[in-house]
Amino acid sequence: MELARKQSRRGRRSSEGTRKSKTSPRKRWTFDVDSAADEISRILVERWGLDVSGVTPDFIRDIVADIVGGIVENRATKPTIESLVKNLERNKRMVLKAIAAKLVALEDLSVEQLDFILAYAPEIAGKAAPHLYRIAKEKGADHIIEALRVLWIQYGTPTRIECPYCGFNSVTPGLYCMVCGREVRESDLKDKIGFRGLLEMFASTAPLSLVQEVLSSGFVLYDGEIKPPSMRPQSPGAVELFLTSEEKKLVSRIIEERLKGDSRN
């Protein structure tokens, strides 16, 4: 793209006079890349119905100029507008992706533009989920948010812990949500995962020494399941959840019952 952009600048210069392009002395014709890009952009917006997505000829002109500049540079004969349009139509998917990538960088987007980005650049959308989530949330576009959750897992940097507020797998070990940007309260996360039930299950079934370790350290690791603190090296993405006094009582009661059961056997 960068090379093509330079070429389009050269095209711009060559259009001003009659001098041949310095890089291709064999060529006996000049080509005004900028005015061609103007015309082609208008044609493509109309043919592809891009105005429905709030994409204007002005918005895509740079992208079209880059591609046209690259094509013109490699042509032996002067291309027609129609042949350039055909070339771009053959590469429609790639052009739409470039447009979507340019849209992603905007501060604000319409729901139609969000739809467009998800359709033509899902990979970029997944990586940009925090940015697009904020916009979709403001617009109340729930279908976009749902699609972004999946794309974030596919192409973003998901964690194993789902955020109780935005529902993305994006809670870091520091209890920060990478997507909605909120600090996650332990109590909210515990409610979300049904912590009490998980703790009861862990205390009843894990090796007794590990349950005792949890009680004495006062916290567990959680990365989708509950683990004792000594398993930190095997669970790098886990968060630490501290036990309330009531949860400690629950664990200690289960330990007592298990010890009693052992002594009966």
Interface residues with Zn ion (CB under 5 A) are 163, 165-166, 177, 179-180
> φ and ψ at 162, to 5 degrees?
-80, 135
When the beta carbons of 68 and 166 are compared against Zn ion, the nearer one is 166
SS3 content of the chain, % helix, strand, coil (to 5): 65, 5, 30
- Residue that the structure tokens 């998917």 belong to: 93
When the beta carbons of 8 and 169 are compared against Zn ion, the nearer one is 169
* Structure token pair of residue 87: 């070339």
- Write down the least CB distance from residue 178 to Zn ion, Å: 8
Mapped onto helix, strand or coil, the DSSP state of residue 82 is: helix
With vertex at residue 108, the alpha carbon angle to CA 100 and CA 156, rounded to the nearest 5 degrees, is 55
* Structure token pair of residue 195: 């912590």
- Write down the least CB distance from residue 236 to Zn ion, Å: 20
Please enumerate in sequence order all residues whose Cβ is within 8 A of that of 88, keeping only pairs 6 or more positions apart, or say none: 40, 44, 64, 67, 68, 95
When the beta carbons of 181 and 229 are compared against Zn ion, the nearer one is 181
- Write down the least CB distance from residue 172 to Zn ion, Å: 11
Strand blocks (E) in the chain:
219-222, 226-227, 239-242
When the beta carbons of 4 and 166 are compared against Zn ion, the nearer one is 166
Instruction: Say how far residue 119 (Cα) sits from the centre of its chain.
Output: 13
Report which of 84, 131, 136 is spatially closest to residue 105, judged by C-alpha positions. Answer: 131
- Write down the least CB distance from residue 179 to Zn ion, Å: 5
Report which of 57, 84, 62 is spatially closest to residue 8, judged by C-alpha positions. Answer: 62
- Write down the least CB distance from residue 161 to Zn ion, Å: 10
- Write down the least CB distance from residue 176 to Zn ion, Å: 9
When the beta carbons of 40 and 184 are compared against Zn ion, the nearer one is 184
When the beta carbons of 116 and 165 are compared against Zn ion, the nearer one is 165
